[in-house]
Amino acid sequence: MIGVLVSGAAGRMGREVVRAVMAEPDLALVGVVDPAHAGETLGEGSGLVIAGDLATAIATTAPDVVVDFTHPSVVEGNIRTVLAAGVDCVVGTTGISQERLESLADTAPEGTCLFVAPNFAIGAVLMMRFAAEAARHLPHVEIIELHHDRKADAPSGTALRTASLIAASRPGVPDAPGKETEVAEGARGALVDDVTVHSVRLPGLVAHQEVIFGGQGQTLSIRHDSIDRTSFMPGVVLAIRSVGARSGLVVGLEHLMEASRG
Ligand code: NAD
């Protein structure tokens, strides 16, 4: 059995992770943390009381893995606490730079894994892979990411990752209309790794992204839609099962997907 503690357990993603962990026969939900809901009994049939302090909860429940879906403003502190206890950490919270992740992973004791995925949906990982492939041949590209209106960060972690994969694979940065054509500020979006990214925030959305390539007389659109937060759960469960055999910083579900295919 793999003992799992969920940090951010009362949130939209945290509640889904709790349900996913309880549904797997080889995973045991040993603890739940969410300071804003400390002392409340968690629903989802777990019967667990929500703890307010992560370090204390780790000390009392001795998890094998902590899963964090919280907020960009607290996630770094949480990761530091988990790694300091020598516990593997699976992070879905977005908004941490690669440099910060590397320096956090440096604090981990030997054999401890910090696994981070900007997107745990397998379809989104494939969308990023296909976008990187297309960018080799169609370098003119823009990203439109669409999320629910309570998302804390913009652009999304998925858009940042997609832009970085495109930048690494396309042969160069093509000339394209930039900010100089803007009549209203922001109309041309933000530049990430020289890729233009537009962020849409609306109620009713979950997590969506379209990558649009333009070429002579043609466009190619690669789109992924998470229409429900259960879309992320097979990836989260795969990460929980995989981190025990890993060490150090691993970023991206693609690394685990390939390994799980054998
Ligand atoms: P949410 O606001 O619904 O939930 C966050 C929860 O964290 C809240 O219940 C809050 O009380 C709790 N929290 C705040 N500070 C805490 C702390 N110090 N310790 C423990 N819990 C704390 O947010 P959400 O929609 O569940 O999203 C959470 C994060 O996950 C966001 O960064 C979001 O972008 C990210 N996300 C990632 C993926 C992915 O596939 N990687 C998918 C969806 C969302």
In this prediction the pTM is 0.92
Q: Is the CB of 252 under 6 A from ligand 1?
A: no
Determine the Cα–Cα distance for residues 177 and 246; give it in Å rounded to an integer.
44
pLDDT tens string 2-27: 999 999 999 999 999 999 999 999 99
* 124-144 per-position pLDDT tens digit: 999 999 999 999 999 999 999
- Give residue-wise pLDDT tens across range 152-197: 899 999 999 999 999 999 999 999 888 888 999 999 999 999 999 9
At 95 the pLDDT is 86
Query: So which residues are the catalytic ones?
Result: 147, 151
Q: Distance (Å, rounded) from C-alpha 124 to C-alpha 29?
A: 27
DSSP H helices in 65-121: 75-84, 98-105
**Residue 226: CB within 6 Å of ligand 1?**
no
Element spanning 259, H or E:
helix 254-260
pLDDT digits (tens, 9 = 90+) for 72-106: 999 999 999 999 999 999 999 998 999 999 999 99
pLDDT value of residue 43 = 79
Q: From the CB of residue 201, how many other CB atoms can be counted at a distance below 10 Å? A: 13
Query: How much is the pLDDT for 183?
Result: 93
Question: Where in the chain are the domains?
Answer: 2-116+229-260, 122-226
Mutation probe of ligand 1 site: the residue of 70, 115, 147, 150 with most atoms within 8 A of C-beta: 70
- pLDDT at residue 248 tops 60: yes
- Does ligand 1 come within 6 angstroms of the Cβ of 253? no
Q: Which residues, including other chains, have CB under 8 Å from residue 154's CB and lie 6 or more apart?
A: 147, 199, 201
Confidence (pLDDT) at 259: 76
Burial of 176 (0-12, 13-18, 19+ CB in 10 A): middle
On the question of pLDDT at 262 being above 70, the answer is: no
- For ligand 1, say whether the CB of 19 is within 6 Å of any of its atoms: no
pLDDT band at 61 (very low <50, low <70, confident <90, very high): very high
User: Distance from the CA of 215 to the center of ligand 1, in angstroms?
Assistant: 38
Nearest in space to 207 (alpha carbons), one of 186, 190, 232? 232
Determine whether the shortest distance from the Cβ of 61 to ligand 1 is under 6 A: no
Binding site membership of 13 for ligand 1 (Cβ less than 6 Å): yes
Selected from 3.40.50.720, 3.30.360.10, 3.90.226.30, 3.30.930.10, the CATH number assigned to the domain covering 122-226 reads 3.30.360.10
For residue 30, give both structure tokens: 């040993």
Is residue 115 within 6 Å of ligand 1 at its C-beta? no
Give the residue whose CA is nearest to atom 37 of ligand 1: 92
Q: Which CATH superfamily is domain 2-116+229-260 in?
A: NAD(P)-binding Rossmann-like Domain (3.40.50.720)
pLDDT at residue 167, rounded to an integer? 98
- Nearest-CA residue for atom 31 of ligand 1: 93
Confidence of residue 258 (pLDDT cuts 50, 70, 90): confident
| Cα 198 to middle of ligand 1, angstroms | 22
Determine which helix (DSSP H) or strand (DSSP E) holds 65, and give its type and residue range. Answer: strand 65-68
If you write DSSP's letter for every residue of 118-152 in order, what string do you get? S---HHHHHHHHHHHHHHTT--EEEEEEEE-TT-S
- Choose which residue among 71, 161, 250 to substitute to test ligand 1 binding: the one with the highest number of ligand atoms within 8 A of its C-beta: 71
Please choose from 6, 12, 13, 232 the residue to mutate so as to test ligand 1's pocket, defined by most ligand atoms within 8 A of CB. 13
For residue range 195-236, what is the model confidence (pLDDT) as tens digits? Answer: 999 999 999 999 999 999 999 999 999 999 999 999 999 999
